[in-house]
Amino acid sequence: MILTQQLAQSGNPERLIDVLARIHAELEEISARIDRNQAAIARATWDVGSSDEDYVRAMQDADLSAQRIAGVADFLRALGEASEPHWYIDTSAATETLKLSELVRSIGSAGLEIQMKDEEAAGEVDFF
C-alpha cells in the first residue's frame, strides 16, 4: 500500500508540523494568560497577601506554571521544526477527548465542523 492510500484510509490525516504548531500556539496563549492574570491578581492583592507565605508560594507557583507551559510550547515548536513535512497523523481520536469547544477549535482536527453550544449556560466559569 502506498502512502497516499494509507492517508486516504486513516480518517483525517494532517501534517504533524501543523498539529504541533497549533498546540504550540495554544500553550503560548495559556502561558500568557497565566502571566496576565497573575499580574492583575498581584496588583489587587499584594499589599494584603505579601506577608502570607501561602499567598507568596501560590503566586510563585503561578509564575513557575507559566514558565513551564511556555517551555513545553517551545519544545513542541522545536519538534515541529525537526519533523519531516511528509509526516502525517490522524488527530480525530485525540480531538474527541477535548471537553472545551474552544480547545477543539484551537488544537483539534483541522477543518472540523463543531456545533456551537451555549457555553455560558454550560457552567464553564466557576465563581468562588
Residue 87 has pLDDT above 90, yes or no: yes
Burial class of residue 3, CB neighbours in 10 A (0-12, 13-18, 19+) = exposed
Looking at residues 10-16, what average pLDDT do you find? Answer: 83
Q: What is the distance, to the nearest Å, from the Cα of residue 114 to the centroid of all Cα atoms in its chain?
A: 18
Instruction: Give residue 41's pLDDT.
Output: 95
Of 119 and 29, more confident? 29
pTM, entire model: 0.76
Looking at residues 25-30, what average pLDDT do you find? Answer: 96
